[in-house]
Amino acid sequence: MATRTVTIASSVGLHARPAALFVEAASNTGLDVEIAKPGEDPVDATSILGVMALGAKYGEEVVLTAEGDGADEALDSLVALLSRDLDAE
Amino acid sequence: MATTEPSAQSDPQSGPETRQGIGVSPGTAYGPVVQVAPPVRPPANEPAVDDQEAALGDVKAAFEAVAVSLEERATRVEDTAQQILKATALIARDKGLVKAAAKQLEAGKGRANAIEGAIEQYAAQFEALGGYFAERVADLRDVGSRAVAAVLGVPAPGVPHFTEPSVVVAEDLAPAETATLDRALVVGIITEAGGRTSHTAILAAQMGIPAVVQLTGATSIESGTHVALDGDTGEVTIEPDLELVEQQRARAARRTEALGRLSGAGATSDGLGVALLANIGGVDDAVSAGALDLEGVGLFRTEFVYLSATKAPTVEEQTQIYRDVFAPFEGRRVVVRTLDAGADKPLKFADLGPEENPALGRRGLRLSAERPDLLDAQLEALAIAARETGADVRVMAPMVATAEEAAWFARRVRENGLPKAGVMIEVPGAALRARDVLGEVDFGSLGTNDLAQYTMAADRMQGALSDLLDPWQPAVLDVVGLACEGAKTVERPIGVCGESAGDPLLALVLVGLGVTSLSMAPSKVPVVRLALSLHTEAECQRLAQIARGSRTAVDAMGAVREAASSELTDLL
């Protein structure tokens, strides 16, 4: 199982447009990707409602996990996505 | 297919029926009615399902159908609206909703109730999170209502798909619904509910779509019926004859021509300058108003900076926003209203608890008094952004009632390096003692919506009390008059930033009472500029006397309309 920790760079946090872009990218990996706040229960990263309900704000850390072929590469691309200010783009 | 020609089928005895609503966005429109379907609720007595697997399949198909229709709508609209619709489609496709619905089915609910149960489960979660998330609950419930309609096989709620220029009619329009309307196809908007300051009214005026609100029986007009509406007078005519439609069109054309002849600073015909300003509520508004022929901003509402935030926005975050708002107004004035929240607009990070009478509670400057740290951060950010952009920034406080409050605010504004401090005059007590209150600051601005609410003891949120909230109420005009007298005594300018400033006849009365600037929805500036250009200062004063001398609001408006220049009233 691959795991990454990343800090949310979007100024509005992980909701609105950033959340939609993240969920889309997670779905496109075709893998079972989960996202969690450190120490909390993970949610399905392809669920917009689950991701929004996490309430991850700007500057907070989240933990991504994925299993299967290409999990490392998939998570690297998702980490890169969350490290940008998606709302400003 | 309905024709765009007026029908000849109206009752020859009575002629076409004309109903009176409240005009909130100027211009005339004519076209077939498109009724917005109300939200669909699941039936109360829906039986449990026999075959849960098949039922879950139906639920999945319903959500998928909603997603597909939203995506299809998204292809027909632009930018912001497209993003809203795509994000909503993503919600409809959420696996979590299907899982939650499956549990509801297992628990013995029927298909439609299972959908609503699943939606409400997330809605509760989002509402608990507050701020931005709570605002998304409307989108979530919209998805639910559409899925319920799909599973029940009834028409979807919301604005249906249409291809002919039409008049959209609804009980009321949700903000997202209004924002996603296609301006090329929506020639007019009519709502049965809403008020002069409702969301529909504000958005329609900003989008430049003629609109009438508070039209009794609007939702029972059949789709396809042709109506003519006048967003100035509030008149709606059902199946009008060709002549009336032509009259309205001709008047609109004359109006467009007359408005096009004038430009520049507002002034009476004898040269008394009256600044014409815009009311704005965000960066988008600032950019669009900045491109227009007006003298600046008379009311910049800053709530949006705070309402969706879960923690107090930092000075840096705020500076960035204010810079973007001020930039289009280099060399022009921007009057900023400091944070007007609390009570009915609670902040996640400064909630003082629920109140019995939020309109009379700890809101506006009263909240700032309890949390001066919030006010100081805002003033600091405003000062930095003002220096960097070269806009003539003036700051005013909402809900000021006394001279002490005004003095306290002015001191804080100056300590933060901002040159001009003012106060909103919206509490009748402050209006009556304007001499003392304004003596402490550099200027005043009458918020006529709240001033009417407090003078007439009528809740602004109560559509049914609209008559009491009419800014033509002679009592409200008396209070405005007294405030202007107080301002004159201490030689302070006093503006109006309520929607009454955008009514051309009322604008004349306000100037006659002593008001020195008018701030309104930007689309209303040209007609007010025209009204001023056709009257002298003395004529405005006479109109003010006529209005204050009237016994009722209706009499006041009628008498002023009668006495104003026919060159103006012919166009209204």
Q: Which two tokens stand for residue B84?
A: 């809203």
Angstroms from B318 CA to nearest CA on chain A: 12
Q: What is the pLDDT of residues B278-301, one digit of tens each?
A: 999 888 789 888 989 999 999 999
pLDDT greater than 70 at residue A70: yes
Query: Which uninterrupted H or E stretch holds A50?
Result: helix A48-54
Cβ <8 Å between A23 and B97: no
- B86, B122, B310 ranked by CB distance to A20: nearest: B86
Cβ <8 Å between B125 and A17: no
Residues B406-425: what's their mean pLDDT? Answer: 97
Cβ A25 vs Cβ A77: under 8 Å: yes
Residues B136-154: what's their mean pLDDT? Answer: 88
Residues listed for chain A: 89
> What is the residue range of A61's domain?
2-88
Residues of chain A with a CB closer than 8 angstroms to some CB in chain B: 11-12, 15-17, 20, 23-24, 44, 46-50, 52-53, 55, 57
pLDDT greater than 50 at residue B129: yes
Residues B149-162: what's their mean pLDDT? Answer: 88
Question: Count of alpha carbons within 13 Å of B326, Cβ hemisphere only?
Answer: 27
Cβ atoms within 10 A of the Cβ of B414, count?
A: 15
More confident residue, B79 or B315: B315
pLDDT greater than 60 at residue B8: no
Cβ B267 vs Cβ B273: under 8 Å: yes
Q: Rounded CA gap, B254 and B232, in Å?
A: 14
Indicate which residue of B199, B226, B535, B540 is catalytic. B199
CATH number of the domain that A48 lies in? 3.30.1340.10
B141 touches chain A (CB under 8 A): no
In words, the CATH class of domain B262-569 is alpha beta
All structural domains of chain B with their residue ranges: 17-38+159-252, 52-152, 262-569
Q: Rounded CA gap, B531 and B561, in Å?
A: 12
Q: Rounded CA gap, B210 and B251, in Å?
A: 14
Predicted confidence at residue B13, as pLDDT, reads 47
CATH number of the domain located at residue range(s) B17-38+159-252 in this protein: 3.50.30.10
Residues B116-141: what's their mean pLDDT? Answer: 81
Cβ <8 Å between A17 and B317: no
Q: Rounded CA gap, B64 and B54, in Å?
A: 15
User: Looking at the 3D structure of chain A, how many domains does it have?
Assistant: 1
Band of the pLDDT at B564, cuts 50, 70, 90? Answer: very high
Angstroms from A53 CA to nearest CA on chain B: 7
Alpha helices in B490-571 (DSSP H): 504-513, 525-533, 537-548, 553-563, 566-569
CATH number of the domain located at residue range(s) B52-152 in this protein: 1.10.274.10
